[in-house]
Amino acid sequence: MSVYEVPVLLGVIVILMGLGLLWDSWGPQTIGPMRDRRRRARATIDLKGEFVAGVGIVLLGAALIGSDWRFETVTILAGALCILLGALRNRKYFREVFTFRGAARRNDDTIQPKSGKLRIR
């Protein structure tokens, strides 16, 4: 394998990841549990934002493959802008994923801890 083939291989891998995001935004949205057991509703993924981020990833993969072509800078800027816009459209989902760390309880402040030895069920 030549050194010149490494960016092409990485570009193909990045394009496949972007196509996976595009397929996920277009595909059926009914996959998953029938009934959510959480008390608090989960944030949903914005499908348009996921689609825009997928297009941005495909553009960055195309820029990796065509490293010596005329519109490489424009492709990288457009891809980065698309990923940024997709992330902004999904900011509620990302905020929940990265910041919500506790149990999904309605009234955590009113629950008093039990005294004595804790028991595992």
The 10 Å Cβ neighbour count of residue 8 is 14
> Tens of pLDDT along 54-84?
999 999 999 999 877 888 999 999 999 999 9
Per-residue pLDDT averaged across 31-44, rounded? 67
**Structure tokens that stand for 41 in this block:** 């509703």
The answer on pLDDT for 7 being more than 80 is: yes
8 Å CB contact between 36 and 62: no
Selected residue with higher pLDDT from 99 and 49? 49
**Structure tokens that stand for 70 in this block:** 């005329």
Question: What is the Cα–Cα distance from 79 to 84, expressed in whole angstroms?
Answer: 9
Residue 24, classified by CB atoms within 10 Å of its CB into exposed (0-12), middle (13-18) or buried (19+), is: middle
Which ranges of the chain would DSSP assign to H, the alpha helix? 6-26, 47-65, 72-89, 91-99
pTM > 0.85: no
| pLDDT number for residue 20 | 94
